[in-house]
Amino acid sequence: MNERPDPLSPDVLKADPFLHLAGKLVPGGHVLPVRVYYEDTDFSGIVYHANYLKFMERARSDHLRLIGVVQGELFGEALAEAPGFAFVVRSMELQFVRPARIDDVLEVHTSPIEVAGASITLAQKVKRGADLIVEAKVKVAFVAQGRARRIPDALRAAMKLALEQAPQP
């Protein structure tokens, strides 16, 4: 099994000092820290519910980035297996458990649950320390040229490795 370098190691940070902004890979997935700013809150000072979707989208994108998939490079012809690909959210289940407030530091945990032919199902949790704030189950489909396509083998292998490393319930 190939060991991935720790994205926060001094050698990696020298090569790309901003990589830590993408969070870090952990056994079974990814963790992204997020600070709650004034703009993230509603009139009552609590995080507006739709902003959790933004936090989770960032975490999914950064998870892909750290396993070697740079989405911005793949919208063109760079991927021979499926040129012009994108991931689209097919379904999402959310449970809002507790509120988060301005200046809270949250962590978005992302773990694959299932890697299927043209889709990946992920578990995402937004936490403040040990407190669960939001829990989500997200299914993303892989599409190219407007149609569902089989996930390329390299991405499938990377996601399956994370799935195998995920703690079992």
The residues annotated with a catalytic role in the active site are 42
Q: What are the tokens at 101?
A: 């407030």
Find tokens 């292998």 and name the residue: 157
Per-residue buried b or exposed e for 109-148, using 16+ beta carbons within 10 Å of the residue's own CB: bbbbeebeebbbbbbbbbbbeeeebbbbebbbbbbbeeee
Cβ–Cβ < 8 Å for 142, 87: yes
